[in-house]
Each structure stands twice: as structure tokens, then as C-alpha cells.
């Protein structure tokens, strides 16, 4: 049993994510799930993007989408195909102002892709250009510098206190929940997936 | 307020992480913290490694170590310096059997580095070669295939149910707690870090 | 006009690549080209893999395959789909002994993928398990340690003299030549590609 | 002996790089080498940056700088420390207009870092903000869209003909030459490096 500061920090994170379950909109979540199911059925491309720790959480989600059979890609990797009309972009940015992400989302929107923003700020530039917004609490302070690589170069980062990571931690648990619901809605069981592998591939 | 399957999944994850707080050993955590503080003071290198989602959680932790002033590196990136005697390796593997990670940890041990294993299995190959073990519950089933890239190529992955991600989610919250404790132990406040930046860099 | 050591090194590299043009087998090259064209027509997946600098040269080639419309992936990225029977693997390893690459190629072969080895050693473990070998001169000394991450951790690397990079430099120019030939064989002109983008996407 | 289109393409690349040896300025090269040697002696950080294929060539160079003992980092990796006054940035961009690179170089310049631009365009935004310019021929057409990720999303890329890769191929050979000269100037022999490893590390 861990005690002291680490315990307090872990409890604070858990309590925050717990409360977030009640704060996240069921309707926003439904919009996201339906859009993803539709993309799955159409074989549309899903491009996941986020900078820094948001990008890592996005990659963890992208891996799961791949395992379920989605055509999924991650911004920043070597291989990113063209995004086309009706493809899906999932853009994760607590502040909704990370320049790299806003610029890439704008480009995708310009070709007719559907943008899903996961952000704490529904009135941010990212949210404003998005078709679907899923508000996830956690980002309380907006970094003044909006360019991610500039922040790296200048050594500017979000708060190191647990408070500084609540957005990413909450998004990670939320997206794991999205995976559970997608599996159910797509009628996929673990067993199915395993059998499919066993029969066809191995 | 989200409801239905996603709610159940999120609650299940949170409850699991909550229980994990009581299951993680304070002594193991102390060993890890002390080793890291010692590394910080000596300017030793810290190499973080993990495959797949464990690797992503490791990267999120590595970013925080960097922000606190550690000499930190991540296996798989372009730039990895030589690991030397008394450097630190943090190896994250739920099963403790991921070949890539076990092989890399062995190489680091051979040059005299100190290995910290974060794993669900204290009797795994990774744990057995490590100097410090931090047991984190969550990995309930050990994948039969131990080579990560082979698993990718064969399409083998951990369970997609929330159960399949409990290890990574728990490690993520645990390591955010470690960051909080390190900041306290190293006497760093947010304000300090910010001032340091403001005075010297900007 | 650069002079001195840098001039000598650049001339040495160019002369080596020049001679390599006469040493690379037209038949081996044809096998590779035909296999890729067939993969393109079938929509088969192409997985490119290499460690260290060979991996970087592989990524540069993968980008070009993507631009031509191939279904291409790079080992080590977040998103790698399952490799299936009759998919293609392009494995780049000067020594043909890099463990990571040999292990991944074995896994792909086990599911029935076709392996193309690009290597200086036609009797290496990689070449022996491959369906098609393209011998590219340049790697003159075989590193004793065959695990790439172990080499990173131990600080072992190929010769820093120009001699140490002749394999990668030669492979890069060779693969750029493969791109030119593929474009011709696939009947693609720059203009075609540009028009296709302009009409459909922008 | 390869023949036909691939031979023509390889010969075209080699001839271009050959001519480039006479076109690259010895003085610009000397400025770069001296700056790097000075950085090495001061233990300054060297940050290498480039988008797409230029980024891959930059990574290959960064690996070599690491092997020689430089404190080197690559933009886009997880771990990028703060860049400080008198640190060095090597920015590779054929057009000198890639937004990501120009923005990052501006941020580094703002904190007093010294910028080395490797570009075909000495009057480009990147060149204009740089302290040292090394003109490398090869980029003949400037892409209209200057944001790299936007180009990926829109599927815009440099010419696929060999002409489209002359800049990257030339930079790769040039930087391998820089490595040879640095080794000589720093008085490092292969043997030295190997012995150093053998005695201290293994």
C-alpha cells in the first residue's frame, strides 16, 4: 500500500476522472461513437493527432482502433496517406490551441474530412472548426505559447503537479471506455477477434 | 454524464486503479524513488523502455523526468547514448517477458546499469534480472508470443476489453504519482521551475 | 568547391555507388520490381523494415511507395497492421544478421508473406529465409553484436569513416532508382499524380 | 549490372552529387565544421531538424554526431531538452520555407541559439534568420504549401522523379563527408573510439 504524497496524487487523479464521468456529455460521446462506427463501415480513414502527452494518449487509442479493424493513422509517423472527403480526424488538445494540431485540422477540414475535437475548451480555435466536440475536463491553464515544438525548445511545459496531467489521464480512461463501447456496437467479442486471427492468419 | 457501456468500463478502470493503490508496495516504490533521486544527483542517464502501450506510458513519464531536469532517454528513439555503469533503466512490461525489453535490459545490466522493472510478474525473466521490482497489478494473461514486433506482424494483441488495459492505465497513474513525489523530494515547486525558465531562458 | 577531407570522402562515396551500379544484379532488381508491381496491383501490404540508418533509408523509400499509391507500412511505427499471406516485406540489413529484423522477417514468413532482403551478404540468416535477395555492396565488416538495441545501449556502431556508410548510401540511391523504374512500369507520370490530386482531392 | 531506367536514374543522381562537390562553398562548410567543433568542446546541445525525407537525412547525421560524443537531439522525438543560448540548431530544408522548421528555428534563435541552415535557397525565410548558411543544390521547385503536415494530409509531395530527391541525396553524402572531416579535426580515429568502448564500457 503506497502512502504519502504519491498516494494523495493517485487519489486526486482517480477522483478527478470519477467526476469527469458525470461531466462528459452522453450526447457528445454518442456523436463520436456513431461517427466512428460509420467510418468503420465505410472503410474511411481515421487520422489521430495530438502533441506531446496528448499525442501519446492518441497513439494508445489508435492502436486499439487498428486492432478492431479500422483504417487508422497517427500524425507525425512516417506513413500518413492523403486525407479525403468524409475521412475522420480525431484531434486531441486540452487547450484547443496547439498550433500544429489546429493547422493540421484545418487542412483536413479543407478537403472535407470530419473533425472530432477532444478538448477542455469548446470555444477554442480547434473546437470551432470541428464537426464534433467532446469536452473532457482537465486542462485548467492555457499555455501562452501555442506552438508545440516552440514550447519544447523553450522548455515550457504544463504543470508537473498531478493537476497538469488530469486532461491526459482522463482522456486515456475515456478512450478506453470508447473502445469497450465500440466493441459492443460493432458486435465484436474478444473471442471473435481471437478466432478470426487463429483461423485466417496463423 | 456518460452512461451505458462506456460508463461501466470507465468505472471498472477507476475501481481497479483505486485498489491498486493499496496493492502497490510502499517499499518497492521507495526503492524506485530513491534510485531516481540518486540518479538525478549524480547526473546518471535514465533509459525508459517498454513495447506498445507500455512504451507510450513510459514516454509520458520520460517527458516529465526531462522537465524535472533528468538526463533521460527512451528506447526506440533515434538518439540513445551508451548506457554506462550505474546508469538507470526503467523497463515497463506487464508480463515481464517481452523479448525486446528483456534483451535490452540484459545488455544494460551487463554494463553495470541498475534495472528497475515495472511489471505484474515478480518471477518473470525481466523481474529476475532487475535490481528493483515495482509490482503493478493489471496484466492477467501472459501473451504466448513474447516478441513485440512478431505480435504486431501476426496481429496478436492484449484483450480489448478494459481488462486488457488495466496494467497500462494503472502504471500511468502510478508514474504520475511518482512525479509528484519526486518534485517534493527534489524540493522543486512549479514556481521554481517556472522562475528558472523565466530567468535563464526566456 | 569543397576541398580536403570532405571532398575525398564525398568522392569515395560517389565512386563506390558508381561501381555498385555495375555490381547489382539486373535479375535480382527485376525480381524486386516485379514483386512490387504485383503487390501494387493486388493491393497487398508492403512492410519496410531496417534498424538504425538502414531503417531511415527504408522510411525514405516507404514515403515514395506511399506517394505512388502502395499500401505501405514501416516497422517500429505505432500503426502496423497484421501481415497476411502474400503480403510483401522489404528487409534492409547490410549484415543480414540484425536480430530484430531477422526475427520480424521470420514471423512474416511464417504467415506466408514474401520477403525481399536487401543485404550485402547472400548467405546471411536474413538472406537465407528470404524469397528474393538483392545484393547491395557496402557492408564490409559484420558487427559482432547482432541485436540493434543492445548495440545502441553498448555504444557499438558501424565505422564512422565513409566506409561505414557505403551500404546505406548505396541503398538510398538504388531505391531512388527503383522508384523511377516503378513509376515508369506503373505508367505513372508526375503529371498524372499531380492531376489525380488536383481533381479528386483539392 | 543494372540497366535501363534504374541505371539512368542512379547515374543521374551520382552525376548531380559529383557536380555538387564543386558547387558547395568551402567557406560555408568551414563555418559549419568550426561551429560544430566549438559546440563539441563546449558541450553545447545540437538540435537537428528537418521535415519528411530531409528529417530522415538529419537523423542519420545526428546518429553519427552521437557516436562522436556530441550532445545531440532530433526535433520530433519524445525527448528534446530546452535549447539555450549558444546551443546549435542544424535546420535542413531544401526550400527553406517549411513552416514547421522555420517556426522552430525562430524559437531557437529567440533564446540565442546559433542556427545553421542547410538549404538550396539562400534568400529563403530559413536562410535569412540563420547565422550560417550551407547552400546545397538540388531543390529546383518550391512546393507552394509550406506546412509539412498539411502537405501530408493533402497528399502533396516533391517530384517522384530522381530530380525530386537530389537535395536529400546530396545532403546525405555531404553530411557523411562532414562526419569524416569532424573525425579528423577532433583527432578521433576509429581505433580510438573502439578502444574507448572496449576499455571503459564492455
Q: What is the ipTM of this complex?
A: 0.90
Cell numbers given for A57: 494518449
Residue B14 touches chain C, beta carbons under 8 Å: no
- Whether C55 contacts C83, CB under 8 Å: no
- Shortest CA gap D86–chain C (Å): 26
Summarize pLDDT for A63-87 with one digit per residue, the tens.
999 989 999 999 999 999 999 999 9
Measured distance CA(C171)–CA(C166) in Å, rounded: 8
More confident call, B96 vs D197: B96
Residue in C closest to A64 by C-alpha: C79
- Whether B142 contacts B97, CB under 8 Å: yes
**Does the pLDDT at position A123 exceed 60?**
yes
Residue A1 touches chain C, beta carbons under 8 Å: no
Of C72, C111, C197, the CB nearest to A79: C72
SS3 of chain B: the string is: CCCCHHHHHHHHHHHHHHHHHHHCCHHHHHHHHHHHHHHHHHCCEEEEEECHHHHHHHHHHHHHHHHHCCEEEECCCCCCCCCCCCCEEEEECCCCCCHHHHHHHHHHHHCCCEEEEEECCCCCHHHHHCCEEEECCCCCCCCCCCCHHHHHHHCCCCCCCHHHHHHHHHHHHHHHHHHHHHHHHCCCCHHHHHHHHHHHHC
The pLDDT of residue C191 is: 61
β-bridge partners, C49: C91
Residue C151 touches chain D, beta carbons under 8 Å: no
More confident call, D146 vs C95: C95
Residues D39-64 have a mean pLDDT of 95
Q: pLDDT confidence of A201, banded at 50, 70, 90?
A: very low
The pLDDT of residue C140 is: 72
Cell numbers given for C53: 540508418
The pLDDT of residue A196 is: 44
Weakest-pLDDT range from A101-115, B17-31, B61-75, D144-158: D144-158
Summarize pLDDT for D157-188 with one digit per residue, the tens.
776 666 678 999 999 999 999 999 999 999 87
Residues B105-126 have a mean pLDDT of 96
Q: What is the CA radius of gyration of chain D?
A: 17
**Does the pLDDT at position B20 exceed 50?**
yes
> Cβ contact (<8 Å) for D193 and C59?
no
**Quick check: helix, strand or coil at residue D106?**
helix
More confident call, C62 vs D194: C62
The pLDDT of residue B201 is: 31
Cell numbers given for C80: 502496423
Measured distance CA(C102)–CA(D26) in Å, rounded: 43
The pLDDT of residue B198 is: 38
Of D73, D82, D202, the CB nearest to B79: D73
List chains touching A (3+ CB pairs under 8 A).
B, C, D
**Does the pLDDT at position D60 exceed 80?**
yes
Weakest-pLDDT range from A168-172, D8-12, D126-130, D145-149: D145-149
- Whether B147 contacts A57, CB under 8 Å: no
The pLDDT of residue A143 is: 62
Measured distance CA(C43)–CA(B77) in Å, rounded: 31
Cell numbers given for B13: 478502470
**Tens-of-pLDDT digits for all 202 residues of chain C?**
999 999 999 999 999 999 999 999 999 999 999 999 999 999 999 999 999 999 999 999 999 999 899 999 999 999 999 999 999 999 999 999 998 999 999 999 999 999 999 999 999 999 999 999 999 999 876 666 788 888 888 877 777 666 678 999 999 999 999 999 999 999 876 665 554 443 333 2
Summarize pLDDT for A29-43 with one digit per residue, the tens.
999 999 999 999 999
Q: Note if A168 is an active site residue.
A: yes
- C chain contacts of residue D92, beta-carbon cutoff 8 Å: none
Weakest-pLDDT range from A131-140, B18-27, B75-84, D157-166: D157-166
List chains touching C (3+ CB pairs under 8 A).
A, B, D
Q: pLDDT confidence of A137, banded at 50, 70, 90?
A: very high
Of C78, C197, C201, the CB nearest to A77: C78
Measured distance CA(D45)–CA(C189) in Å, rounded: 43
β-bridge partners, A72: A46
- Whether A103 contacts D149, CB under 8 Å: yes
Backbone φ and ψ of B147, nearest 5°: -95, 120
Measured distance CA(A170)–CA(A176) in Å, rounded: 10
- C chain contacts of residue D165, beta-carbon cutoff 8 Å: 176, 179
What count of Cα atoms within 13 Å lies in the side-chain half-sphere of residue B158? Answer: 26
Q: Which of D12, D158, D168, D190 is catalytic?
A: D168
Q: pLDDT confidence of B143, banded at 50, 70, 90?
A: low
Closest to B79 measured CA to CA, from D67, D115, A55, D86 = D67
- Shortest CA gap D129–chain A (Å): 16
The pLDDT of residue B165 is: 85
Residues A169-182 have a mean pLDDT of 96
Cell numbers given for A90: 480525431
Residue C193 touches chain A, beta carbons under 8 Å: no
The pLDDT of residue A97 is: 93
Of D104, D147, D153, the CB nearest to A153: D104
**Quick check: helix, strand or coil at residue D139?**
coil
Measured distance CA(A94)–CA(B176) in Å, rounded: 17
**Does the pLDDT at position B160 exceed 60?**
yes
- Shortest CA gap D110–chain C (Å): 31
The pLDDT of residue C187 is: 84
- B chain contacts of residue A10, beta-carbon cutoff 8 Å: 17, 21, 173-174, 176-177
- C chain contacts of residue A77, beta-carbon cutoff 8 Å: 74, 77-79
Q: Which residue, among D144, D151, D177, D181, would best test binding to C if mutated, counting the most C CBs under 10 Å from its CB? A: D177
The pLDDT of residue C193 is: 56
CA A131 to chain CA centroid, Å, is 15
Residue D61 touches chain B, beta carbons under 8 Å: no
Closest to C84 measured CA to CA, from B145, A196, A62, A42 = A196
Chain mean pLDDT for chain B:
89
- Shortest CA gap C118–chain D (Å): 15
Percent of chain A's residues with pLDDT above 70: 88
The pLDDT of residue C22 is: 96
Burial pattern C103-139, b for ≥16 Cβ within 10 A else e, equals bbbbbbbebebbbbbbbbbeebbbbebbebbbbbbbb
The pLDDT of residue D202 is: 26
Measured distance CA(A43)–CA(A200) in Å, rounded: 20
DSSP per-residue codes, chain A: ---HHHHHHHHHHHHHHHHHHHHS-HHHHHHHHHHHHHHHHHT-EEEEEESHHHHHHHHHHHHHHHHHT-EEEETTSS--PPP-TT-EEEEE-SSS--HHHHHHHHHHHHTT-EEEEEES-TTSHHHHH-SEEEE-----S--S---HHHHHHHT--S-SSGGGGHHHHHHHHHHHHHHHHHHHHTT--HHHHHHHIIIII-
Angle at CA A7, nearest 5°, toward A6 and A8? 90
Q: Which of B28, B146, B158, B168 is catalytic?
A: B168
Residue A142 touches chain B, beta carbons under 8 Å: no
- A chain contacts of residue C70, beta-carbon cutoff 8 Å: none
Check residue D201 and report its DSSP letter: I
> Cβ contact (<8 Å) for A62 and C72?
no
D187's CB contacts (< 8 A; 6+ apart) are: none
**Quick check: helix, strand or coil at residue C97?**
coil
Residue B163 touches chain A, beta carbons under 8 Å: no
Q: pLDDT confidence of A154, banded at 50, 70, 90?
A: confident
Measured distance CA(D52)–CA(D94) in Å, rounded: 11
Cell numbers given for D163: 530530380
The pLDDT of residue A165 is: 85
Specify burial of residue B131 (Cβ count, 10 A radius: 0-12, 13-18, 19+): middle
Please say whether the dihedral angle defined by the alpha carbons of residues C134, C138, C140 and C144, taken in this order, is positive or negative. negative
Closest to D147 measured CA to CA, from A110, A100, A113, A98 = A100
Number of CB pairs < 8 Å for A and D?
A: 66
Weakest-pLDDT range from A144-158, A185-199, D103-117: A185-199
Amino acid at each position: 500500500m503506497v502512502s504519502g504524497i504519491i498516494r494523495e496524487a493517485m487519489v486526486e487523479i482517480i477522483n478527478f476522472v470519477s467526476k469527469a464521468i458525470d461531466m462528459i456529455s452522453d450526447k457528445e460521446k454518442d456523436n463520436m461513437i456513431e461517427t466512428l462506427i460509420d467510418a468503420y463501415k465505410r472503410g474511411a480513414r481515421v487520422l489521430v493527432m495530438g502533441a506531446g502527452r496528448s499525442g501519446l494518449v492518441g497513439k494508445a487509442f489508435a492502436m486499439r482502433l487498428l486492432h478492431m479493424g479500422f483504417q487508422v493513422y497517427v500524425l507525425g509517423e512516417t506513413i500518413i496517406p492523403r486525407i479525403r472527403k468524409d475521412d475522420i480526424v480525431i484531434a486531441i488538445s486540452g487547450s484547443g490551441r496547439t498550433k500544429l494540431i489546429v493547422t493540421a485540422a484545418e487542412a483536413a477540414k479543407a478537403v472535407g474530412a470530419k473533425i472530432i475535437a477532444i478538448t477542455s475548451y469548446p470555444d477554442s480555435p480547434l473546437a470551432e472548426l470541428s464537426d464534433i466536440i467532446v469536452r473532457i475536463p482537465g486542462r485548467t491553464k492555457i499555455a501562452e505559447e501555442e506552438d508545440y515544438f516552440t514550447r519544447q525548445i523553450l522548455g515550457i511545459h504544463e504543470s508537473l503537479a498531478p493537476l497538469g496531467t488530469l486532461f491526459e489521464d482522463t482522456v486515456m480512461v475515456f478512450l478506453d471506455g470508447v473502445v469497450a463501447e465500440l466493441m459492443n456496437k460493432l458486435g465484436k467479442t474478444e473471442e471473435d477477434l481471437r478466432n478470426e486471427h487463429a483461423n485466417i492468419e496463423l
